[in-house]
Structure 1
Amino acid sequence: MSSLAGRPIVVVSAFFALCLSAGARADGNQLLEECQDGINGMSGGVSRNSVGVGHCVGVLQATMDTLDLFHEAGGLPRLVCVPEGGIPMIQSMRIVVQSLQAHPESLHLNESVLVVSALKNAFPCQ
């Protein structure tokens, strides 16, 4: 197993390439709709698009896992410092939805970049 330690530029480059390689619809507009639907479904309502909710959950979880991977294996500083033990998925969804609604001028950006920005603002590292 090869280590990513000592290669922070490669890791950061790979992360941004991953973020930018997603399809044209992989932006904040789609993520906002899907995560709002997920919050509704997780709060006792009915989801209109379970595949979309799965996409929201997947993007949030994959982004958080990637941030952890870059810190642990890549030796990069933490960008997001969630409380010990993590946070529930619905809380992540609410944070992202709130951020996307507060910044509609950014909805055209890549969804993973928007998730990192939302979580970084909610849980800054000291």
Structure 2
Amino acid sequence: MADGNKLLLECQDGINSMSGGVAKNPVGIGHCVGVLQATMDTLDIFHEAGGVPKLVCVPEGGIPMVQSMRVVVQSLEAHPQSLHLNESVLVVSALKNAFPCR
């Protein structure tokens, strides 16, 4: 199931491995990276090609993937009642709260 429960574990593992730890589930880390990147790319496509207002405004030049992971993990840990929701919805919510457009 593509929900926050699985994504939380995968992204926590990604942060650990990118910080010098041993990956427990390399495929899961790849899934976390893929969901985060695909969600950010989709937001950009909707804005650029679809005329949808920008929902997430990361700093100029973007942010490192590990920072995206930390933002998402922090949000998922802070809102355990939402972990049953779709992972992409949770990623958008986390990034939108961390990098609001003004």
TM-score by length of 1: 0.81
Asked whether 1:51 is paired with 2:27, we answer yes
Is structure 2 residue 46 aligned with structure 1 residue 70? yes
Q: 2:60 aligns with which of 74, 81, 84?
A: 84
Report the CA distance between 1:29 and its aligned residue: 0.0
Deviation at 1:84, TM superposition (A): 0.5
Asked which structure has the greater CA Rg, the reply is 1
CA separation in 1, counterparts of 2:50 and 2:72? Answer: 25
Runs in 1 of length 4+ with deviation above 3 angstroms? Answer: none
Q: Which residue of 1 aligns with 2:70?
A: 94
Matches within 5 A, 1:27-38: 27-38=3-14
Report the residue type matching 2:18 in the other structure: M
Which ranges of structure 2 fall in alignment gaps of 5 or more residues?
Answer: none
Report the TM-score, using the length of structure 2 for normalisation: 1.00
Shift of the alpha carbon at 1:48?
A: 0.4
Q: Structure 1 vs Structure 2: percent identity of aligned residues?
A: 84
- Cα distance per residue 1:12-59 (max 9 Å; x no partner): xxxxxxxxxxxxx10000000000000000000001000000000000
How many residue pairs get matched? 102
- Determine helix, strand or coil for the equivalent of 1:73: helix
The corresponding residue for 2:2 is 26
